[in-house]
Copies of this chain bind each other. A is one copy, B any other.
Amino acid sequence: MKKTFWLITLLTSLLMAGSTLTVNAQTYPPKHTPELEFALQRKVTLGEAFSIDNTQHGRRTVIPITGGTFEGPGLKGTIINGGADYQLANDKGRTELEAIYCIKTDDGVYIHVRNRGIIANGKDASGKPKFYFKAAPQFEAPAESKYGWLNDALFVCEPEWTQEFKGIVLNVWRVK
């Protein structure tokens, strides 16, 4: 157990990493906005859902994840049958989703996924009704594999609607 000043630790790890750090004199409003870089698209097939109404946490809906495919720059494969999206809806129509499942790359690597997010009917700035569905998938890949970069970044995803595919299409971006 050591006592340390965290910022010193942080700056040391920055220097060790040889990173260039931009230090700003003025901070508000921020001049830099993070970019979103397309990472992968998942096409997920779903089984028949069932719900448990009025639990202590709201309405719990279980949507089986039965299969599908994924594809992105440098990765491609299938979605393993056997996961599920465990959604929780409160009585205002707001839903929290938590999809838990695994994918398998076409070179045989398994990757675990937990995708937590929000489905809400909100309004935009002009007061117009707006459907909102965003989630933040977290990946667990073998750290030393070519997919290890999935472990070390934040991701966001949103659905895409298509007539071409019976299921749900989710596009995932890496926060750069």
Complex-state Cα separation, A32 to B101, whole angstroms: 25
A34 with B34: in contact, given A55-B141, A82-B84, A117-B154 (CB under 8 Å)? Answer: no
Q: Tell me whether B130 and A19 are in contact (CB under 8 A).
A: yes
* Category for how many chain A residues contact B: 35 or more
Given contacts A94-B152, A158-B34, A173-B34, A2 and B142 within 8 Å (CB-CB):
no
CA of A108 to CA of B112, assembled, Å: 32
Q: Which residues of A contact B (CB under 8 A)?
A: 1-7, 9-10, 13-14, 16-19, 21-30, 32-34, 36, 38, 41, 43, 46-57, 60-64, 71, 82-86, 90, 92-94, 100, 102, 108-112, 117-122, 128-132, 134-136, 140-144, 149, 151-154, 156, 158, 160-165, 168-169, 171, 173, 175
Besides A1-B53, A56-B152, A120-B153, 14 more A-B contacts (Cβ < 8 Å) are: A3-B48, A17-B129, A25-B163, A30-B41, A32-B160, A34-B36, A34-B173, A56-B140, A57-B90, A62-B82, A64-B82, A92-B143, A118-B154, A122-B149
